[in-house]
Amino acid sequence: MITGAASGIGRQLATGLAQQGARLLLADLNIEALRAAFSESDDLLLRQMDVTSEADWAELVETAVKAFGQLDYCVNNAGVIRPGFLLDSTPEHIRYHMEVNALGVMYGTHFSARVMARQGHGHIINMASLASIAPVQGLSLYSGSKFAVRGFSLAAGYELEDKGVHVSLLSPDLVHTNMLDVQLQYPEESALSFSGGAQPLTVQDVERAFYQVLRQKPREYCLPSSRGWLAKIGSAFPGLGAKIGKIVKKQGLNRIKKRYQKR
C-alpha cells in the first residue's frame, strides 16, 4: 500500500514493485494522475484518498485486507512542501504541512499497525527527509512536520517491534521531483536544500535505497549516509549549526544560480 503514488518517488516505487509482480493498493488525492500512470487490475488497485482523513485511512486499509487477505507493507509517501520564512507564513500554511506530512503518516501508521499486529508481521516505511534531522531555515514548517514524522516513527517502532511489526524511516536529501521545482521558485528560502555538492538525488536513487530498507528493516536509513551524519551533527549542536548554516546557505544559492537559473 503506497500513498502519493501518482507522481515522484511514489510513482517510481509503485512502477518497480508492479514490474516484480507485487500486489499493490495505490492511493493519491489526484486520482486522474494516478489512473494516467497505472492501469487497474485484480492485483493493482487504485483509490483516491486524502491522507488527512481518518475515514479515508480506515477505508483504504479495509480495502487492502479484503482484496489481498493481509497487509504486508505500508509506504507512507505522500507529502507536501511550501517554502517560506516563518514571518511570511500563515496559520493555513502551518496546518497544511502538519496535516499532510505529520498527521497523514500518523494515521497511516496507526491503521496499518492495527492490522499488522493482528497478523503478527508487517513493515511500515515512512518517508521523511534529512530536514527531519537538521532544522532547515526557510523551510521551518516543512522541517517541523518532518521532525514530527521522525520522532513519531522511531517511538512507534519501539512500541511495535515485539508485535512483529517493523517501522522504518527513509530520509533522503533533495530529490529531483516536483518538490524540487517548487523550491526553485523560492531560492532564498530553499537555499539550504541545494547546499549538497553533488547533483540532487533521482527517484531511482531513492528506489534503490527503498529496497535496502525492505531487506534490512532499519529504524532509519539516510540517503546519502554522509549527509545524514552531517545533519545529525548539526542537530546535536544547534549553535554550531546556526553558524554553519549561514555559510552553507551561500553555497546553496550559488548552486541554484549555476545549475538552474541559466536554463
Show the CA angle centred on residue 141, arms to residues 233 and 137, nearest 5°. 45
Query: What average pLDDT does this structure show over 172-177?
Result: 95
Domain count, the chain: 1
Share of the chain above pLDDT 70, in %: 98
Which residues are part of the catalytic machinery? 142
Domain assignment of residue 154, given as a range: 2-259
Summary mean pLDDT of the chain: 94
CA dihedral 212, 213, 219, 222 (to 10 degrees): 60
- CATH code assigned at 150: 3.40.50.720
3-state secondary structure of 123: strand
Q: In whole angstroms, what is the distance from residue 253 CA to residue 262 CA? A: 13
| 199 φψ region: left (φ > 0), alpha (ψ -120 to 50), beta (else) | beta
Query: What average pLDDT does this structure show over 51-73?
Result: 98
Contact 107, 59 (CB under 8 A): no
pLDDT in tens, 125-146: 999 999 999 999 999 999 999 9
Q: In whole angstroms, what is the distance from residue 33 CA to residue 78 CA? A: 14
pLDDT in tens, 78-98: 999 999 999 999 999 999 999
Q: Record the pTM.
A: 0.94
| 8 φψ region: left (φ > 0), alpha (ψ -120 to 50), beta (else) | left
69 Cβ contact list (under 8 Å, min separation 6): none
Cell representation of residue 159: 512500541
Cell representation of residue 228: 545524514
Q: Which amino acid is at 4?
A: G
Burial class (CB in 10 A: 0-12, 13-18, 19+), 250: exposed
